[in-house]
Copies of this chain bind each other. A is one copy, B any other.
Amino acid sequence: MNILEQADAAETRPCTSVGQLIAALGKTAMRRFAAALEPAGIKPRHLNALLSLRAGETSQQGLAEAIKVDSVQLVGLLNDLESEGLVERRRDPADRRRHIVAISCKGEQRLVALDAAVDEVDDGLLAGLDPHERGVLHGLLLRIAANADGDTATPCPSETDGASPD
């Protein structure tokens, strides 16, 4: 049974909707990421922040928007990362109210090890899918994320339109 025939089979009004499935799997994924990151002493949000900062430094407000975390909550998050020397905060000379947040060298190095942990979780989650199917899934999810961008945390939105749909 290939992927297309399977789609037709699934099209007969299923009990669990796609959205519910995404919600449930999202919870599972989050739990696994949290477990995988725990030895490193950080949580999924810290990783998201680091990933977003890897793309370039920004103000706290900008970062908060990028990873869809309340700017209030981001304060403690950055305190954690800063106390471990993974990020650095400095005043913006142009507007001294702003804090420019940047990932440190140590932070970049940590991110390499973290990438491996992320890949492991991904591999466990997608164990039942072959590489091609994973690619299909990834493409579909990226398009959903792009569509619901206002709601969804996308650390690296620049990749979103990289596939140039249509």
A152 to B128, CA, bound (A): 15
Chain B CB count within 10 A is highest, among A26, A44, A122, for A26
A17 touches B119 (CB 8 A): yes
B163 touches A10 (CB 8 A): yes
B139 touches A126 (CB 8 A): no
Interface size on A, residues (CB 8 A): 75
B20 touches A33 (CB 8 A): yes
A100 contacts B by Cβ under 8 Å = no
- Cβ contacts A15-37/B at 8 Å (1 or 0 each): 11111111111111111110000
B6 touches A19 (CB 8 A): no
Q: Which residues of B contact A48 (CB under 8 A)?
A: 20
Least Cβ–Cβ distance between A130 and chain B, in angstroms: 11
Q: Which residue of B lies closest to A133 (CB)?
A: B140
Q: Nearest 5 CB-CB pairs, A to B? A: A26-B26, A15-B156, A7-B135, A128-B147, A23-B29
